[in-house]
Structure formats: C-alpha cells, structure tokens
Structure 1
Amino acid sequence: MKRRTLLASAATALGLTLSGTAWAEGMDKVKACFVYVGPIGDGGWTYQHDQGRLAVIEKFGDKVDASTYQESVPEGADAERVLTQMALGGCNIIFTTSFGYMDATNAVAKKFPNVKFEHATGFKREAPNVSTYNARFYEGRAVEGLIAGRMTKSNKIGYIGSFPIPEVVMGINAYYLNAKKVNPDVELTVVWAYTWFDPAKEADAAKAMIEQGVDVIASHTDSTAPLAEAAKSNGAVIGFGQASDMAEYKPSPRVTSIIDNWGPYYIDRVGALLDGTYEQADVWAGIKGGEVLIGEITEAVPAEVKAEAEKLRDDIASGAYHPFTGPINKQDGSPWLAEGQTAPDGDLLGMNFYVEGISGDIPQ
C-alpha cells in the first residue's frame, strides 16, 4: 500500500553510489525485468515506469531483452513469488517499482546473489545486489504551488493525498509554502483518498473540493480522474498532470505536470551491467538530475506567471533555491527552519507534520 514511503535514514537520500565492488565483467546482453503495482494503462505512476522500460529497449536494441514485465502485482507474498519466477527465468536485473515490494525484494535478492535488484522508493539494502532509487517529487510541487498561488481566483487551492506518509506530506507542504510565498491569502484544503489508483475515489475527492470553492487542484494519486472532474467546470478549475504528462487535458485544466522520468536511470543501470561498471547505489535525484520534469506550461497560464514558474524550476535545478528554505515553522508554531536555512534530507524523509498555515490534522 505505502509503495512510496520515505523514512528518515542516514544512508538514504545521499544520491551517491554506495561503497562496494563493481561487477567488473561486462555482459554481452542483459535481460531486464520489471514488476509493476498497477496497470501500465493507469496514465500515471506505472505508465511512466513502463515508458522507462521502453526507453531501455530504444537505447540498447538487441543488447537488452526488456520484454518481461508483470502488471498489478500485489504487495506481499505474491510479489515474492513473481520475483522468484523472474530470477529463475534468467533476469539479470529486476526493477521493483513499489515501496511495498521492499521486503520481498530483499528476501529474494539474498537467494539470487548474481541477480541485481533495483527497488523504487525503498530504503533497505540488505544484500549487496540490492540498490534503491527515488525522485524528489517535492521540487515539482513547489513549481505547481507557485502557479496555484498566482492563478487561484477564490484563494482556495486543493491537494488530493494518497496516504499520509512522508513523501506525500512533504509534497503538500512544498505546494502550500510556495503558493503562500506569492499569495499570502491562499488557503489549502487537503482531502485524503487512501488509494494510489482508484479513479472513482479520486474523482469524488476532486468534486468535494470544487464544491467547497477550490479552483486549483493538485493530486498525489495516479489516475487522470481529478483532471476529468476539473474539466467539467468549463475553465473555472485548473489542475496538474501527476506522474505522467496527462497531455490529453491540455491546455486546461492541465496547465502543467510533474513527470516522473525513470528512463535515464533505467538506461544508466542497464548500461552499467553491459559495460561492467555496475555498483550498488542509493539515489534520490530531482529536477537537476532529470528524474523530475516539469511538463509544458500551457497558454492557459499568463505569460508572466509562466516565466516565474520556469525561473523557479531553473533555480531549483541550479541549487539557487530550495523549496524548503526558512524561516518556516511547524503547524503548531514551533520553529523548524531559521532564516535562510534549508531542510536537511533526513527531516524531509521523515516528515510527519504540516507547516504553519495548513489547517487540519495528518491522519494517523
């Protein structure tokens, strides 16, 4: 369920290769396999991981067999069974693309030390053949927040949360903080859908917010349902593509998007097996590294707001700006970050609080 949970860990989020010996011998051909938590047609998270798989095929041609994947694999015992079958079936590297696969990934990796396992969003690397990777989605939330703060007419913006885990909470906070910077009157409504992919629940969440006067909606769920609901407003409500571009809703209500760009990472890791430079790694990259892309900002966004959003994107990429830069207090008014201080990765990875100004409680 909590496939993308991020926990505070000293080793996590370094974005660096861990110590260890590279598999020095290259390979003539690599069989790369993929395990997905949802259908590749979900239009969001799983769709974008599968686009990464296709990028591997395009890059390496007959040097790689990336035709093996399994959709909609439940998190739990079924995942261990699927991973075991893939390892026995000759997969050289297996990408497990959901947080809930963490224990299964590590358990199977110990049984197959010559197979490389890559776990998306996890933090356990219990064997030297397990690596972890993630993306700094909160950077994209900051760009969305700026656009939301500038474009709202009601001063009411919304956010559909999946599960109350650090990754989602940090996205909510980044969205709100950067909306508030440009519009001090903005108010945020958060609706928890308790799902990653359920179009009916996501649509209901969007509808509920629209009925409360929210006119800009961000979401941390995987379907296009929130945008479809916004589209019924005849231009009164805008939103953002999530995980993939969701370009079918351009130029409005989808005014830009956060795109999870897994292709470069998958190409890098498969390429490292081919050339013999593969090492165990833990990567948490963002806009700078190309794992988080900001989709086209459409003509529905005023030119001056578009320019401001693009500058924010570029400043995040260059390191000139961090989405969590003090002074920032926690929701209860207690200090968190002093003037000019930026959030340590450990604080973000364990984030379990709202920042000052957000109403409501984080469900337990």
Structure 2
Amino acid sequence: MNRRTLLATAALGLGLGLGGAASAQGMDKVKACFVYVGPVGDGGWTYQHHQGLLAVEAEFGDRVETAYQESVPEGADAERVLTQMALSGCNIIFTTSFGYMDATNNVAAKFPDIKFEHATGYKREHPNVSIYNARFYEGRAVTGLIAGHMTKSNKIGYIGSFPIPEVVQGINATYLHAKKVNPDVSISVVWAYTWFDPAKEADAAKALIEQGVDVIVQHTDSTAPLAEAAKTPGVIGFGQASDMSEYKTNPDGTPGPRVSSIIDEWSPYYIKRVGALLDGTWESIDSWEGIAAGEVVIGEITEAVPAEVKAEAEALRDAIADGSYHPFTGPLNKQDGSAWLAEGETASDGDLLGMKFYVEGISGDIPN
C-alpha cells in the first residue's frame, strides 16, 4: 500500500464531513510521537518529517517530549507500534505514511483521549483524528518551468513512485509548465513502484538518460537519481522532499546536477498542532497547504540556471503563493483531447484529489 494518496471527491467528503470539538483544556507538557515509514537518514521524505520533530523540540523546549520509530512497515506492524506508543504515554501521534491510515483509525478508536494526525490519508473516522498533506504540485509547476528552459534535448524524464493522484498531479504540473516555456518539450515516465529503493531509483534514472533525457524529475525519496545524473555531464535534476544540497556541486568543484529542489516543510504544521494541544485548541481538521503556508518550499536555485530563468521561476512561485495563479488553469484538455478546464477556469480540489488522467500532450498510459 502506498503512503501519500488522497482519494477522489467522495472519499474527501467522508473526511470533511467529520468535524471535531476543540480540546477541552490545555496541557503543561505534551509527549509528541512520530511513526516513520523509512529511515531517518533517507535524505528525503522521512528525513524531512524528522526535521519537523526537531523543530517542535526547538519551539517548545521542556514543554514537549518526543519519541519516534523509523522504518515501520505499513500494515499490522503499524497497528502494533501505534498501540505501544499510546500505552507509553504519547499525547499526540503523527503517522507519516498513507499506508498507516487504517491502523491510525483503528488505534484511535481504542484511545479516544489521544490525538492522532495522519499524513496524506482521507479517513477521519473519529473526533481525535486529523489528516494533513501538502500541495506538492505547486512546487512541481516551478521546477517544471526550470526544466523546460534548461533541457537541451527537449526530453524530460519523470521517475514516478506509484500511479496515484498525487504523483499524476506532479507529472501534469511539470509537463504543463515546461511546455509553457518550451513548446517542443516531451516527458517520459518510468514507474518505480516504490517510495524508497535507491537501486530501483538509480536504474530508472539510468534508463531515462539512455533514452536521451537530460532533465530528471523524481517522485521517489532517495538521492540515487541525482547520483546517477551526476555520472553524465549535462544531465540535471531536482532535490525531492528535502533539499539534497550535497548534489549542487560535484567532487571536482564543477556544478552538480541539482539545480533546485522541492522541500516538504512539515515544521509549521507540527508546531501548530502540538501548540494547539498545549493551549487547548486542538480540533480534528483536514489540512492541505502549499507554498503560501510554507509547507512547500522551493530550494535554492543555483547559478547553473540563467538569471532570467531564475527570476521567472521565482515570479511563478510568488504568484502561486499570493493566489494570483493556479498551476492548473484552463484552457486545458485531458490526454484524449476531451475538454477539462475552460479558459480561466481552475481545477477544483476534488478534481486534483482524484486525478487519474494525463493532460493533453503526454504520451503513455497510467497503470492501474
């Protein structure tokens, strides 16, 4: 089971239909616990969630105690770990993978006085459960623009994890914004069917490079695609989930493949939610924030990117942040040529959360 999917409108409606009362009173001290699907040192997804834990410690000092367990498989093991955490005195538990969704709700039912926060799911079956996600597609619009300008072969490669709406959003946003600045661009997708497997990710990057791709975009979590890109002069890529800044410069001092990054910044959310439990205002919510809230951050754009391209990318970032631009704005058609968005119309959250189609111009099928 993959971790970061949000289902379509009907499922979203299930979550939005369940409100939660605020906590009756504040707390002098909170024990905040985190369950990670990967290792803290993965360099991507889990690493960034752990940075959020550290930010909570820095914000609240001795008013908070933290605990975490890494590399917890999705499934029965997750329910066991969550039960142990609940019994160990955790007041709020963050479960940071989609596949923990059922386990989170099952354990929450048994411990109604403990708050549970589930990343990227859609079920809020109990008033002590919240769900949260980030609008990663906003960041991919910005890096897609950079990719469209930077490619010399006009071929962009995309390493997809699983064929779920979140990833399809990213592919479409990347392509659309590359196409805006480079009408000749094409995008090729390789599905890795994993979130974190450096060997598979490296193989996917190598296969794309062998097809003539000179820009690698990844929706997987390790640094392996950037390491593979570094082996071929002229191939660039982007940090995923974390900055991956170690790939800005090669060992010989020449510019490295990483020209920017999409950073998942969970710290604001974690600080807000632990703070709400401390001050007695915690309530069950469904959160989906992006660049404007600081949860999706565009990492440093390096000097390898021309100044005018950097300025254009930063302007797009700022327009998304202030709400004057939406990455999915019509006129847009679906891959089969059928109309999707009319002139000036923007995609609804329901369309995005259930996105299982490519936009017009992308070749290939989305696997079932």
Superposition TM-score, scaled by structure 2 size: 0.96
**Alignment gaps of 5+ in structure 2:** 250-255
Identify which range, 138-147 or 244-253, moves more after superposition: 244-253
Q: Hey, what does 1:157 align to over in structure 2?
A: 156
Aligned to 1:37: 37
Mapped to 2, the partners of 1:123 and 1:192 lie a distance apart of 24
Post-superposition shift, 1:206? 0.4
Q: 2:298 corresponds to which letter in structure 1?
A: I
Report the count of equivalent residues.
Answer: 362
Deviation at 1:18, TM superposition (A): 6.6
Name 2:244's counterpart in structure 1.
246
Q: CA deviation at 1:2?
A: 1.1
Partner of 1:89: 88
Tell me if 1:100 matches 2:104: no
1:149–1:180 Cα contact (<8 Å) kept: yes
Any idea what the Cα deviations from partners look like across 1:267-303, whole Å, max 9, x if unmatched? Answer: 0000011111111110000000111000000101000
Secondary structure of the structure 2 residue equivalent to 1:296: coil
Indicate yes or no: 2:343 matched with 1:339: yes
Corresponding residue for residue 317 of structure 1: 321
Who is 2:293 aligned against?
A: 289
Tell which deviates more after alignment, 251-260 or 78-87.
Answer: 251-260
| Alpha-carbon spacing, 1:72–1:113, altered in 2? closer, same or farther (3 Å) | same
Cα deviation for residue 11 of structure 1 reads: 7.4
- Match runs of 1:58-77 below 5 Å: 58-66=58-66, 68-77=67-76
**Aligned counterparts, 1:1-364, within 5 A:** 1-9=1-9, 12=12, 19-66=19-66, 68-234=67-233, 236-251=234-249, 252-364=256-368
Tell me, in whole angstroms, the C-alpha distance in 1 between the residues paired with 2:191 and 2:277: 41
> Post-superposition shift, 1:12?
3.7
Q: C-alpha root-mean-square deviation of aligned residues, in Å?
A: 1.5
TM score, norm. by length of structure 1:
0.97
Matched residues in 1 for 2:13 and 2:157: separation?
A: 28
Question: 1:18 & 1:184 partners in 2: Cα distance?
Answer: 45
> Structure 1 CA distance, aligned partners of 2:20 and 2:7?
23
The 1:14/1:147 distance shift into structure 2, 3 A limit, reads farther
Report the AA paired with residue 106 of structure 1: N
- Conserved? CA contact 1:17–1:280, under 8 Å: no
Contact 2:18 2:125 (8 Å CA) reproduced: no
Q: One-letter code of the match for 1:284?
A: W
Distance in structure 1 (CA, Å) of the matches to 2:65 and 2:13: 30
Deviation at 1:6, TM superposition (A): 1.3
Q: Percent identity?
A: 82
Q: Distance in 2 between matches of 1:5 and 1:276?
A: 30
Kindly state the Cα deviation for residue 100 of structure 1 after the two structures are TM-superposed. Answer: 0.2
Query: How far apart in 1 are the matches of 2:117 and 2:72?
Result: 16
* Separation of aligned partners in 2, 1:321 and 1:215: 28
Return 5+ residue gaps in structure 1 as ranges.
none
